[in-house]
């Protein structure tokens, strides 16, 4: 079985759910306490064994490339002021992994972005992560998926239980539980009406995908809104007899592309922050809600 060494992270979207904050800056660069959202994701990937991070960017996303680049001037400035710990921390960001960038010319959905990333891979299984979803967990969420991939030998989707009333916001699976949080998936529907949802298990856009799935993605046509959905390619792969697994990831999920989800992440990581946590908790105690 091939080791998962590469992750594709689509970060080309406009961030319309977060306007006006995202008018002139990428949503992935919004900070959760003192690190941008995208850094949490890259750290999760690296902690899961990933060596090569492929970011699928677009216009207005240059700040992401700069963030993972060497910042020689800033580092020597910090060194000259005796702040070598901070300089070291800054240097580490650019050396965490090997970074590649490919630009998506128009936001045609996560499926289109993934195909652009696949062009930089070598007919190998890869991880895919959305640039929005941070999962706070003991074992990195991507590593949890890699463990299932290793055990079952097939592609894996991250799953989370949701109230049925929210099914129309997500990809939703049909499948059966194999125990231990693992599911055998029989189909995926993108954003079904709650009354038509096949289950209350939704897709978090975090996957381990194999070249067989990509061959279906190449054939997937855009939906009426112009987006190519990865879930549709996965569904067609399953219909053609492909094996697909799901895993109910352990951890707290924060959708940081959504204003409320982002605010929740800020509180969670604020409370846990080694230097700021105590002061922040004290501050929060003053609120009566
Ligand atoms: C995307 C996917 C959907 C998934 C969701 C959350 O939807 O298409 O399958 O459930 O992310 O990760 P979007 O939020 O881009 O509308």
Q: Which residues pair with 204 in a beta bridge?
A: 158
- Give the number of the atom of ligand 1 that is nearest the alpha carbon of residue 227: 8
Check: CB of residue 97 under 8 Å from CB of residue 53.
yes
With the most atoms of ligand 1 within 8 angstroms of its CB, the residue from 114, 135, 159, 171 to mutate is: 171
CA atoms within 13 A on the CB side of 255: 13
CB-based contacts of 18, cutoff 8 Å, min separation 6? 27, 30, 257, 258, 259, 262
Tell me which residue of 272, 264, 269, 267 sits closest to 284, measured CA to CA: 267
In the chain, where the domains are located = 6-285
What pLDDT score does 288 carry?
81
How many CA atoms, within 13 angstroms, populate the side-chain half-sphere of residue 130?
Answer: 24
Residue 47, class by beta-carbon neighbours within 10 Å (0-12 exposed, 13-18 middle, 19+ buried)? middle
Q: How far is CA 215 from CA 118, 220, 230, in A?
A: 11, 9, 12
pLDDT digits (tens, 9 = 90+) for 90-115: 999 999 999 999 999 988 999 999 99
pTM metric for this prediction: 0.95
Give how far Cα 83 sits from Cα of 73, 193, 273, Å: 14, 54, 20
Give the number of the atom of ligand 1 that is nearest the alpha carbon of residue 205.
12
At 243-289, the pLDDT tens digits run: 999 999 999 999 999 999 999 999 999 999 999 999 999 999 988 87
CA of 166 to the centre of ligand 1 (A): 12
Cα 189 from Cα 177, distance rounded (Å): 18
Which of 230, 247, 9 has the alpha carbon at shortest distance from 147?
247
Residue 243 CB-density burial (10 A; 0-12 exposed, 13-18 middle, 19+ buried): middle
* Token representation of residue 43: 């750290």
CA 191 to ligand 1 center in whole angstroms: 8
Interval between CA 202 and ligand 1 midpoint (Å): 9
Report yes or no: 64 and 57 within 8 Å, Cβ to Cβ: yes
- For residue range 202-255, list pLDDT tens digits in order: 999 999 999 999 999 999 999 999 999 999 999 999 999 999 999 999 999 999
Within 10 angstroms of residue 279's Cβ, the number of other Cβ atoms is 11
Distance CA 49, CA 150 (A): 13
User: Rounded CA gap, 70 and 55, in Å?
Assistant: 16
**Is residue 23 very low, low, confident or very high in pLDDT (cuts 50, 70, 90)?**
very high
What residues does ligand 1 touch, defined as CB less than 6 Å away?
A: 110, 130, 133, 170-171, 190, 202-205, 229, 231
Q: Is 180 left (phi over 0), alpha (psi -120 to 50) or beta?
A: left
Summary mean pLDDT of the chain: 96
Architecture of domain 6-285: Alpha-Beta Complex (3.90)
Atom number of ligand 1 nearest to Cα 171: 9
Give the model confidence (pLDDT) of 146-194 as tens digits: 999 999 999 999 999 999 999 999 999 999 999 999 999 999 999 999 9
Distance from residue 43's CA to the centre of ligand 1 (Å): 21
């Amino acid at each position: 079985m091939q080791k998962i060494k590469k992750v594709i992270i689509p970060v080309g979207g406009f961030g319309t759910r977060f306007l006006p904050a995202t008018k002139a800056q990428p949503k992935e660069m919004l900070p959760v306490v003192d690190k941008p959202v995208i850094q949490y994701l890259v750290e999760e990937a690296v902690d899961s064994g990933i060596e090569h991070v492929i970011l699928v960017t677009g216009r207005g996303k240059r700040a992401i490339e700069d963030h993972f680049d060497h910042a020689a001037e800033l580092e020597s400035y910090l060194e000259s002021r005796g702040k070598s710990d901070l300089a070291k921390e800054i240097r580490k960001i650019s050396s965490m992994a090997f970074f590649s960038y490919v630009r998506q010319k128009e936001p045609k959905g996560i499926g289109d972005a993934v195909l652009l990333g696949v062009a930089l891979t070598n007919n190998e299984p890869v991880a895919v992560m959305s640039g929005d979803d941070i999962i706070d967990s003991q074992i990195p969420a991507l590593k949890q998926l890699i463990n299932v991939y290793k055990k079952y030998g097939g592609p894996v989707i991250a799953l989370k239980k949701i109230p049925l009333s929210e099914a129309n916001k997500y990809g939703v699976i049909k499948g059966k539980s194999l125990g231990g949080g693992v599911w055998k998936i029989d189909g995926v529907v993108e954003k079904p009406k709650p009354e038509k949802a096949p289950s209350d298990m939704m897709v978090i856009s975090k996957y381990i995908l194999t070249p067989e799935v990509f061959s279906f993605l190449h054939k997937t046509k855009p939906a009426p809104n112009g987006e190519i959905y990865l879930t549709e390619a996965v569904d067609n792969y399953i219909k053609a007899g492909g094996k697909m697994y799901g895993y109910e990831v352990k951890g707290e999920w924060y959708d940081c592309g959504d204003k409320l989800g982002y605010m929740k992440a800020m509180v969670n990581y604020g409370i846990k922050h080694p230097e700021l946590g105590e002061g922040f908790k004290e501050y929060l105690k003053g609120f009566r809600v």
